[in-house]
Structure 1
Amino acid sequence: MNSIAIILPAYNEELTIKETILSFYNELPNANIVVVDNNSNDKTSEIVQNTFKKFDIKGKLLFEARQGKGNAIRYAFQKIEADIYIMSDADMTYPASEIYKLIEPIINEDVDMVVGDRISRGDYARENKRPLHTFGNQLVKKLVNKLFNANISDIMSGYRAFSKKFVKNYPILVEGFELETNMTLHALDKRFKIKEVSIDYKDRPEGSFSKLNTINDGAKVLFTIFQIFRYYKPLLFFSILSVLFALLSLLSAIPVFNDWILYKYIYHVPLAILATGLGLISIILFSAGIILDAIVYQNKLEFEQRLL
């Protein structure tokens, strides 16, 4: 029988953590429920310990002082051994009753990551009160699908199941709520098997507050887009920059060419120097893209060898 670990990162979730634990316990009483207290300053840890003790729940409370969901999940992945890992939020937004949909493809279809899709049924659009978050999600989704020739509906879902192979071969380098996007990118880039299953979704209960910030997270979305190009598609990224500098070089050189055509002499010497410098930068950027693309390919080759 497959061992299952349910990982719940929690930061100031005293209003919802008990109900979240019990909802998963009622569905899978033999699962190892792991709560990662991510430096909470309320009664989250106390409630977790009391809930485990009162209901005789097989569970574990971990502490991660470094702020950020990525740090919390990274610590749990290091400390917990299981055949199947479930990641969910501790705010009652993801129904525990949907957990079987996430587990089944891991067991029967050899899938490495199952994503709980909040989008397809329209629940997220209906429940989410932050339209800018929806816009950011859509922007990142379209970019990722385009670059990786994929068809992922919910890039940023926090309700996921993972095989042990994925967890033990996924280096978590992000710290915050970029985690879900990073997981998806890693799975696509390293060709892990991904499956989405439609799930119900509801907004946080009244009195519980999201840790997301529209402005800060909007900036993180833009930075994520930048990172996607830079880390996963370096040739494309540096080629775009190279073309930009090449165009600037040509624009700067127009008066220089005009001088030479009309007078057989260059009067705009500073522009000639600028055009030459911009042209050299363009060549350097394109060369860097080619080199980094070769390095990315080599890293993929070594990763595949490690998996084998």
Structure 2
Amino acid sequence: MPLLSVIIPAYNEAATIAQVIGRVESCDLPSGFSREIIVINDGSTDQTAEALKPFEGRHKVLHTDNFGKGGACRRGFSMCQGDFIIVQDADLEQNPNDFSELLKPILANSADVVFGSRFLGPYKASSPTMIVHYGINRLFTFATNLITGYRTTDVWTGYKMYSRKALNALLPHLQSNGIEFELEVAVLLGKFGMRVVDVPISYVPRWYKDGKKTDWRQATRSIGKLTKFRLRKV
């Protein structure tokens, strides 16, 4: 029976974590699939730990120091048993009902990793803030495509569906703790010659007042990180 592992990193997501887990538990998967849910409470300082208590009996729930998204994902990757693996953010921006579409190219043996693209789906940046986010994403996506030779449309997407083959190749080389983890993954995939395709996903953006954590300072720091990823030998 194929197993999908869903890694959920959470930092100060008390307001949404229970609803996100519920969506992952109830979403449709391809026939015959089972699911494994691993939640990494990444040193939250709010009530996230309390919100996770009802789930500790039926899922793997870890409470760790705060390392950042990349560090939390690496911890989850090292534990998961799935034939296929995806990271689910602990906010409500992504829809787990997209899992089946993200799996299709891997199941058809036409991809090793699938990027869930927000910009191929119905979402369109409308506010000034989100237009800036879109522009920054496009710049990083363009630069990463130059490095890797891919034609992805959303390198910062949190929805990346990994085959076990791809994750096994990546895991010994992943080092990032912050959001630059997404760039590191893309560059490493290119170095290993993995096949990557985009699939449209649904997306409901979260605003800063609702807890959005990424900002321009993180993007600025990621410029140097991207250069280091390109130059690193594996």
**TM-score class, shorter:** 0.7 to 0.9
User: 1:219 and 1:205, CA in 2 relative to 1: closer, same or farther beyond 3 A?
Assistant: closer
The answer to whether the 8 Å contact 2:187/2:230 transfers is: no
Q: Which structure is richer in relative contact order (CA contacts within 8 A, separation 6 or more)?
A: 2
Inter-partner Cα distance in structure 2 for 1:128 and 1:94: 21
User: Which residue pairs with 2:185 in the alignment?
Assistant: 183
User: Which residue pairs with 1:132 in the alignment?
Assistant: 132
User: Which residue pairs with 1:92 in the alignment?
Assistant: 92
User: Which residue pairs with 2:52 in the alignment?
Assistant: 48
Inter-partner Cα distance in structure 2 for 1:68 and 1:7: 14
Structure 2 unaligned regions, length at least 5: none
What is the identity, as a one-letter code, of the residue corresponding to 1:223? G
Structure 1 unaligned regions, length at least 5: 232-295, 300-308
What is the identity, as a one-letter code, of the residue corresponding to 1:17? I
Inter-partner Cα distance in structure 2 for 1:166 and 1:119: 24
Inter-partner Cα distance in structure 2 for 1:145 and 1:86: 22
- CA apart distance, 1:186: 0.9
- CA apart distance, 1:67: 2.0
Question: Which structure 2 residues correspond to residues 162-181 of structure 1 after superposition, within 5 A?
Answer: 162-170=162-170, 171-181=173-183
Question: Which structure 2 residues correspond to residues 1-308 of structure 1 after superposition, within 5 A?
Answer: 1-28=1-28, 30-51=34-55, 58-109=58-109, 111-121=111-121, 123=123, 125-126=125-126, 129-170=129-170, 171-204=173-206, 208-214=210-216, 216-231=217-232, 296=233, 299=234
Inter-partner Cα distance in structure 1 for 2:127 and 2:168: 34
Aligned pairs, how many? 228
What is the identity, as a one-letter code, of the residue corresponding to 2:191? D
Paired-residue identity, %: 24
Inter-partner Cα distance in structure 2 for 1:143 and 1:206: 26
User: 1:13 and 1:59, CA in 2 relative to 1: closer, same or farther beyond 3 A?
Assistant: same
- CA apart distance, 1:229: 4.5
TM-score, normalised by the number of residues in structure 2: 0.88
- CA apart distance, 1:15: 0.7
Bigger strand share: 2
User: 1:119 and 1:128, CA in 2 relative to 1: closer, same or farther beyond 3 A?
Assistant: farther
TM-score, normalised by the number of residues in structure 1: 0.68
Answer with 1 or 2: which has the greater Rg.
1
What is the identity, as a one-letter code, of the residue corresponding to 2:157? S
* Structure 1 range deviating more: 127-136 or 107-116: 127-136
User: 1:217 and 1:111, CA in 2 relative to 1: closer, same or farther beyond 3 A?
Assistant: same
Inter-partner Cα distance in structure 1 for 2:166 and 2:68: 21
Inter-partner Cα distance in structure 1 for 2:103 and 2:128: 26
SS, match of residue 129 in structure 1: helix
Inter-partner Cα distance in structure 2 for 1:115 and 1:77: 17
Bigger helix share: 1
- CA apart distance, 1:130: 3.9
* 4+ residue runs over 4 A deviation: none
User: Which residue pairs with 1:247 in the alignment?
Assistant: none
- CA apart distance, 1:110: 5.5
